[in-house]
Amino acid sequence: MHKVLRLPAPAPTTGCCNCGGTAHNLTQYQQYYQMLYRPAPATTTTTTNATTALRTQSTTPTQTDALALAKKKRLRKPRYAKYVELLEVTELTASERKSRVKRLKSKKLAEFIQKTQMQILEKRAREERRLLKKGKASSGDVAQLLLAENWKKFKASSEETAQRQPAEYQKIDLDAVDSSILEAGMYDDKPLIFFGKEMYTKQIIANPDEVLKILKSFHNYRDIIESMENERQDNIEADLSSYSLNAPKHTDEAAMLDPFESIEPYIDVQETQKAAVKIQPNINAATAKSKKRFKSKVHANEEQERLSKHRALSINLTTYLNVCVSANMLSRALSTIFAYRTRVKKNNTQQKQNIISIDLYNILLHGYAGKGSFDRCQELFKLIHEDGLQFSEQTYAAAFECLGRVESDAQNQQLIEQYITQAEQQGYSLNQIMDRSKFVSDQRDIALDAIRRVRPDFTPVYVAPQLGYDNQLLNDLNAYVIPVGEETNEIAEKNCNIMNSKRGYSKAQLEQLAREQLQVELNGSITIKSIEKSKEFANAEFCRTKLKELDQSWRKQIAAAIVRDLNTLRAQVRFKPHGYMNYYTYLKVLDSSHYTDILIKEIYKLAEGSETFSPTVGQLYKELGQKVQQCYQIELKKHNGTLEKIGEIYSSYCELWDSGKSQDNTRQMWQRLVHEQRHSGPSMDLPEVPWPANVLTGVGRFLYNILMRDIKIDSQIMRQKSKSKTATTTTPQNVLPAFYTLFRNQGRLVKEEVKPHPVLSRLLRASRQQTLTFDSNLVPMLCPPQPWSTPHNGGYLLNKSELIRLPQQAVQQWERIQASNPQHLYPALDSLNQLASVPWRVNTQLLDVIIEVFQNGGDAKLDVPQPPSSLPPLPTLPTAAEIESGEANPVSPAERAKQFRDKLGHRRRQAEMYSLWCDALYRLSLAQHYRDKVFWLPHNMDFRGRVYPVPPHLNHLGSDLARSMLIFDQAQPLGVDGFSWLKLHCINLTGLKKRDSVRERLLYAEEIMPEILDSADNPLTGRMWWSKSDEPWQTLACCMEIANVQRSPDPAAYLSRFPIHQDGSCNGLQHYAALGRDAAGACSVNLAPSAIPQDVYSAVAALVERTRKTDAQNGLHVAAALEGFVRRKVIKQTVMTTVYGVTRYGARLQIARQLKDIDDFPKDWVWPASTYLTTKTFESLREMFTSTREIQDWFTECARLIAGVCSQNVEWITPLGLPVVQPYNRQEAKHAPRSGLRVSNTMSTDLYERPNILKQKNAFPPNFIHSLDSSHMMLTSLQCERQGLTFVSVHDCFWTHACTVPELNRACREQFVALHSEPILEQLSEFMLHTYSFRDTDFTNDGSVEDLSKRQLNRTLRQLPQKGDFDLRNVLDSVYFFS
């Protein structure tokens, strides 16, 4: 007779039983799981249920069972009620509540759900007992009693049958089981134990230890099943030992390995049996037919999907092998490359070559060469030959390095000669090998020593770098370039003008600044004093002491947790199969002390975060992984000799800055110095291998688990009175986790966030640290940046600086850059170097005024952010008591809804104010820190070529406040016209005389000179004329400079550091007008000379106003409501951004924002009026700029066809040679696994993914124009540098000293004319035809849509827009082109 015994699951234990069961038992448990998920058949009466609750089942299915199985399409798991954990954290306790949500799956909720289910069971059991006692059983209870009675009868009648039938398992009707189990969904987590004979059942029940053993075995089998489903390992056909690579060749080599490496990965014999026990899904004829259909929103076809996977795997393997070699895990690297090599043997040769390349072997070869293990290298050479790969220069360099580390003898010299001969037969000379290979540490010297054992007189000849340009627009600058090796000591003084903007710093001063900068980068961060003005708490000193104690205890806990979790990870990874790329290897590259420092900084960052917003855990994981990667890269440079060599080269670089006797730009100087030191030491053009996004997330998750689990805080830590009570205890009594997670709705998604415990936040606020910490790659540099000489090296001395700001999946543009001629990238690199070479300082006179306003609560009208506390509270609704007493009227539902909306808006406004306030706090605190220092701003660019400073907080981009605080460090005399340019700049900033000529503006400046002087002398207590300006803070800074010049004895000799701006007049429309030679459009944007400036914004506003008057006369109410409000400022942003692709929706938001800011405009008309003005503004622009609209439409149509017909991203090459690829692709929202040891092989890249057609076509016109304005800026930058001018740009706004404004204006106009004299549209059409057009053989001539689309693409790419007759040379005489 069979019985069912339901027992609670035992508490988890650390021990492990003998789980080496057979596949037969595993099959039984698999069938048991199938049985659990089989839906119960419908029953008609309770009596029938009871009598058929338990019946024996033979191994041959009945006809009824066969029909039931045929009807089932898939196994359905029972639906569980899912809950979200709401953790209420107070000062003393942390209580949990449950809230039901949909589609929320998280392993962290398992314990919470189990607790809730147990409560349901207990409650139901209590109700049943109560009903039985009172004799008031319902029909369901009667059924339960009948079930118990029939159970006994059935047991007695079928005992004999059960004994003589040897069934593998017994089929149980789950309707007969306790219904509370089904309702609670507990029958999956709570095991059902099945027994055969009655005597055996009694013995088991009498012995609890036997029951626990069964339960333990059950959990072990369940873990096996779950691991089969979650982590499917590929079977490896050949073992590593079959290739004789397991045995170490030298005894000393094994001693040098990590202890983890002494045991090769183990393959369980049961791995091969897993396939036999997998549940096969039911496959009918319909599914069999559609199995081969390819459906993907991301990839165009199966081939693209396969190539994408291969590319992702190649990136992961390259990164993993580099890390293995760095962490001294050569055996792990060897087993990994061997596993993938074996795996692709089944496939064709092409696939193997795509994955297993010679570059992967070279990584491993250098690892073994560093140990002098030539036997291993020889076996790798055999594998290379078996794979049909050719040796590269790097392969021979590794061979020579390995032989150079072996003691020299006759055999050694014979081998060296053999590889030299082999290389020469392959076409590689020794000079090529030494020149093209990349070396680290002492590899170059060792390889050279090996070669000289057989060729004593060999001295490598390194190919000198090409220093000049290969671009028609810049070839005239090549006249100043002296080829490498032909340098002379006699350089004409006039040719050294390029050094004028870099003079004034001695070698000793620059070297000292470089040492300080290196120390900052080695530390990884910088801590500065905050300018926040706050009251000192009474217990501040006590809180600081407690925080210091916490810091020390946290460091100990983190260090212990790192060792503990790494050992656990090491034990788990040890017995994984070959080729198992895991996170343990990545985590082994740093010491635990580095992880401790990183986590301590992360703790303080989280504890000081915003209360209303937090990054999601995915973002936090990735950012923390990036910090680990950055620390690893710096440690790598310290150990491979790069740091030392950078110091040597930079010292020579400082000497050139000091002497000023050079006619090279910074890139050319750096290239010469690097070439001079190529004879020894590491290579300086080593590309850093970035970790994939999945690795960064996995490493960050590992560390965050420690932060969430091991970082504790005493909830009573701030209670000073409890000191005496806790003095006798060794450990705090109220320890709680310092961080917890919550789930927040973000749109339709639920995102997990990390929050600090309120006690921790309060402790930090009370301690008032008054400091801010910034990463070293987010602050300005204390010395001139390293010049960009290659796409991989430049910017900070040690920190990795990205040349192009791109998302991590955008690799297509990097492919184009790698494949292009290095000389084609020089213009963009040199422009970045020129901008980065400009030294800055803080305008301290103005900074003090800004800090005073900020510390006094800010000022919204002056654009100084206010703290969120300054926001007035919302009015509260009357309480129920007030309504009952008659003191207030009842609240209607509409009023409550309005209050709810107001609360949401109030909370949103608070979050915005806090964000702006923090931004100002960071900017002003950094400015205060650097107030007496000179600093430099390294630059990089976006994918279009637009340049940006790398430090985000303190730079000259951004708002009026940000631009006003910085001035040049170099001072230059104003000269004859400098004072006039200064006054003109002041009037330009006010925005009061935009339609007036230069002469009228200067006269106006003389009229208001008393106001200017009063603003400078009494900025906050005077008449504050400056505050009414369009750019108030820049106007105030200019007023202060004018006052200083006015009061100086000789204005012409006054040394000024103040930058003067020359701003383009709607620069995007200027480029469109020049492209189309549109005469009317050119005049409206000041390309043609005129007596007064033409204001395109006012012209558009006049057209709109004329249309509005007509509509108002025709009775249109919205036109009448806009009377007097169609102003220049209202439509300016829309006109400016139209050429950059703004949509009608975006334009409507822009206009609505401007209308809301007008106090007199009726707020009820904001949205109708904004819709009306948007339509009229677009119509007016079409009327004014016909040629512009034609070009824009051609751009859009070309991009639509390229993305839609060719399924490729739109790309082009700028006039300066920079390849551009639009990184807009369709990506599936794939959630990374929340846990696991294995590094995923998949990652998204834009090389093989479908383009996002909508984004591609909408973004191409503005992106192409942005690439043109960046090209114009770069041309102007390089010409100004050659003339010795200080030049800085904010996109289309150029800055220089007052005395050099005329030279800047001349260069700006000449370069614009030179740029647009090139056949830009013709070259673009030719490039797109060459890249995307279809050949005659590609057409099917069947009249299909696909065939017609291809023909339309070819036709559209050739149909250039018609051009006008505007003469570009007029720009040279236009005063207001840039003014």
Provide the 3-class DSSP secondary structure of residue 1115: coil
Do 1060 and 982 meet the contact criterion of CB atoms below 8 Å apart?
yes
CA dihedral 1311, 1314, 1318, 1324 (to 10 degrees): 10
CA dihedral 583, 586, 592, 595 (to 10 degrees): -90
Cα angle 759, 765, 766 (rounded to 5 degrees) comes to 85
Residue 898 is which amino acid? Answer: K
Residue 573 is which amino acid? Answer: V
d(CA 256, CA 250): 10
Question: Which of 352, 637, 1132, 1350 is the catalytic position?
Answer: 1132
d(CA 867, CA 889): 35
CA dihedral 440, 445, 451, 453 (to 10 degrees): -150
Distant-in-sequence, close-in-space partners of 902: CB < 8 Å, separation ≥ 6:
874
Q: Find, among 779, 795, 789, 798, the residue nearest to 647 by Cα.
A: 798
Residue 937 is which amino acid? Answer: L
Which value, in Å, is the radius of gyration of the alpha carbons in the chain? 38
- Work out whether strand 804-805 and strand 939-942 pair parallel, antiparallel, or are unpaired: parallel
Longest dimension (CA), the chain: 122
d(CA 995, CA 999): 12
The per-residue DSSP string of 400-434 comes to HHHHHTSPP-HHHHHHHHHHHHHHHHHT--HHHHH
Task: Specify whether 435 is catalytic.
Answer: no
Q: Find, among 599, 603, 683, the residue nearest to 649 by Cα.
A: 683
Provide the 3-class DSSP secondary structure of residue 753: strand
Distance of alpha carbon 1372 from the chain centroid: 44
Do 1139 and 1260 meet the contact criterion of CB atoms below 8 Å apart?
no
Distant-in-sequence, close-in-space partners of 44: CB < 8 Å, separation ≥ 6:
none
Do 844 and 1291 meet the contact criterion of CB atoms below 8 Å apart?
no
Cβ neighbour number for residue 236 with a 10 Å cutoff: 19
Give backbone dihedrals phi and psi of 1249, rounded to 5 degrees, phi first: -100, 155
Question: Which of 234, 449, 1063, 1347 is the catalytic position?
Answer: 1063
Cβ neighbour number for residue 945 with a 10 Å cutoff: 24
Q: Find, among 174, 236, 208, the residue nearest to 34 by Cα.
A: 174
Helix or strand (DSSP H, E) at 1042? helix 1032-1046
Do 1083 and 1376 meet the contact criterion of CB atoms below 8 Å apart?
no
Distant-in-sequence, close-in-space partners of 746: CB < 8 Å, separation ≥ 6:
616
| 1284 Rama sector, left if φ>0, alpha if ψ -120 to 50, beta otherwise | left
Distance of alpha carbon 192 from the chain centroid: 48
CA–CA distances in Å: residue 7 to residues 183, 220, 922: 17, 17, 60
- Show the DSSP H helices in 536-591 as ranges: 540-574, 583-587
Hunting for tokens 């050119």 — which residue is that?
1082
Residue 902 is which amino acid? Answer: D
Task: Specify whether 1292 is catalytic.
Answer: yes
Give backbone dihedrals phi and psi of 348, rounded to 5 degrees, phi first: -75, 170
| 514 Rama sector, left if φ>0, alpha if ψ -120 to 50, beta otherwise | alpha
- Work out whether strand 786-790 and strand 966-968 pair parallel, antiparallel, or are unpaired: unpaired
Token pair in block for residue 491: 């350089």
| Active site positions, annotated | 1063, 1132, 1292
